[in-house]
Amino acid sequence: MCGFVGFTNKINDASIVLGKMMDRIRHRGPDSDGKYVDDKVAMGFRRLSIIDLSDVGSQPIFNEDKSMVLTFNGEIYNYKDLRNELLEAGHEFYTQTDSEVLIHGYEQWGEGLLNKLRGMFAFVIFDKNKNELFGARDFFGIKPLYYAQMGETLMWGSEIKSFLDHPHFKKELNTDVLETYLTFQYSPTSDTFFKGVCKLPAAHCFTYRNGRLDVRRYWEVKFDPDNGPELEEWVNRISETFKNSVNVHKFADVEVGSFLSSGVDSSYVAAVADVDKTFTVGFGEDEKYNEIGYAKEFSKYIHKDNFSEVITPEEYWGNLSKIQYHMDEPLADPAAIALFFVCRLASRQVKAVLSGEGADEIFGGYNIYHNPADMAAYFKIPRPIRKAVGAAAEKLPHKHGINYLIRGSKDLDERFIGNAYIFSEKERKALLKIKTGAPDAMAITKPFYDKVRDQDQVTQMQYIDLHLWMTGDILLKADKMSMAHSLELRVPFLDKEVMALAEKIPAKHRVTPENTKYAMRIAALKACPPQTANKKKLGFPVPIRVWLKEDKYYNIVKEKFTSPESEQFFNTDVLVGLLDDHRAGKYDYSRKIWTVFSFLIWYDVYFKENI
């Protein structure tokens, strides 16, 4: 696992600037570094050694005649097979790395290389003969790749913060993204919070030549349920395919550990992986927020050591600025902070960990996927009547029963934009003092819904989450929080072979009236005790809603909400009203409060402080 930066060379002191940009992401690769600079490009690399620990494996990596140069972040799990194929085709290798497979593979197959890969990756190759750049991001978006065109310069890298040191970079807030963030709790499109900076979407690649950037998709998720096999066969297929995925994800020349919460996903990973060490964090004594007791019992069950730590509220709140700095863009998921601490804990023992991200999206694990079945009876009421009832309900005070009527008045693409739906269009307009050109939420989700209109509603919801929530929230925090501690995080559920299997599983075996991830949970029983396979998902929960009612943390947030920075963007009386109503117990507004508060913390780091 590593990090890289680069830019088309239009400056005189390129090597010095490149060095500063590389220093910004030292945390991604503290073991070594490398540069390539000519009159066309400057490419820099920071290495975290996981495979081929010798310096020979350091990047940039070249082909035989050095006409191509590559920087790469990630792991290619089938690189040995590809290496043998390339050797047979006449290519010469000078390292044992997966990096070198990419550059020879691109020589041999061009863009066709991408669909041969099994792994997580972001890479950029410069072809000197064509004076052309080629870059790509993996199938699910596990590894990040950002780019910006500023004047005649194209810059790219693993983290946005590296761009800050380039003289052509203009730091400017993208207020359109701020507004969409208020609804999604993350930036859901390819645009970022920095105007002019984009993230390459998952399963996309690009070429850049003569000042022209061409971005295109190279792979698609395609749900195509097969109703032939019985449940037992699907369970056996999941068990075999997942075991294979875990085995290839364990490959490393360093020790690999595993995260462990109380849910089935991380438990299944830890049990199948047979690693020696598991890692868990919790908050306080309440079992709702502390999974350490379970993790220790489960680790004992699989005969492994568990390392755990209780995080105090003071530690949690005291690290928020550091966390938002590492995140690059504001993320309002409180679990990101918990992930920061479990990564810190694991990094003291190992250099790589396995984690359970992705299981919910591909096997149908979120409780909200019950929603279509739960509301089926209500949807038998004629649509105009439901619409009228919903319109009336929206004028009433917020209560759970009222929300049911509001949701019931809307079609799926109106009510579901992913696992987070923080501020509605109307609410965010009332909250914001500024005017933006932000699209509404349905404009963002529509291209994805359009691709799965012929599928059942559970599959549609999974498809939305796979392309928005998982990439924008789940995988963003997984990469940034692990890399903040120079820790490689691997996700065996997010494997091309596992996804190919999941695409075929009928919805009836994914979500049942009694459970979610149904077939996968049964498969997990082969490795885990029943109480684990059937346990409700928590996933390092955080007591934000409780803390916001305490004087100390209420006052911290209120001070931020009434600051001059807040007043630039928000009607602060609305913010304070949400905070006061939450404290008074009128309604749980913790997610709304945390969304705005997280942005303000991030804004201070990147626009108020001199970083």
Residue 399 CA to residue 446 CA, distance in Å, equals 29
Query: Do residues 282 and 261 lie in contact, with contact meaning Cβ atoms separated by under 8 Å?
Result: no
> Residue 491: how many CA atoms within 13 Å on its side-chain side?
30
Query: Do residues 58 and 30 lie in contact, with contact meaning Cβ atoms separated by under 8 Å?
Result: no
Residue 536 CA to residue 477 CA, distance in Å, equals 22
Query: Do residues 517 and 364 lie in contact, with contact meaning Cβ atoms separated by under 8 Å?
Result: yes
Query: Do residues 249 and 272 lie in contact, with contact meaning Cβ atoms separated by under 8 Å?
Result: no
Strand ranges in 322-438 using DSSP code E only, listed in sequence order = 352-354
Strand ranges in 457-601 using DSSP code E only, listed in sequence order = 488-490
Separation in Å, CA 63 to CA 129, 133, 207, 404:
12, 15, 19, 60
Q: Which residues, including other chains, have CB under 8 Å from residue 392's CB and lie 6 or more apart?
A: none
Residue 437: exposed, middle, or buried by beta-carbon count in 10 A (0-12, 13-18, 19+)? exposed
- The neighbour count for residue 378, using CB atoms within 10 Å, is 14
Spatial CA neighbour of 452 closest among 476, 422, 477, 416: 416
- The neighbour count for residue 273, using CB atoms within 10 Å, is 24
In angstroms and rounded to an integer, the radius of gyration of the C-alpha atoms of the chain is 24
- The neighbour count for residue 388, using CB atoms within 10 Å, is 12
Q: Pairing mode, if any, of strands 132-137 and 68-76?
A: unpaired
**Could you tell me the two tokens for 157?**
């890298």
Which residue among 2, 198, 343, 528 is the active-site one?
Answer: 2
137: which strand partners?
A: 122
Q: Which residues, including other chains, have CB under 8 Å from residue 515's CB and lie 6 or more apart?
A: 521, 534
Q: Running DSSP on this structure, what letter comes out for residue 58?
A: P
Return the SS3 of 385. Answer: helix
Active site residue 343: no
Strand ranges in 77-211 using DSSP code E only, listed in sequence order = 119-127, 132-137, 146-150, 153-157, 197-199, 204-209
How many DSSP H helices and E strands does the chain contain? 27, 17
490: which strand partners?
A: 354
Return the SS3 of 217. Answer: strand
150: which strand partners?
A: 153
CA angle 147, 149, 155 (to 5 degrees): 50
Q: Which residues, including other chains, have CB under 8 Å from residue 570's CB and lie 6 or more apart?
A: 431, 432, 433, 561, 596
Residue 308 CA to residue 486 CA, distance in Å, equals 19
Residues carrying an active site annotation? 2
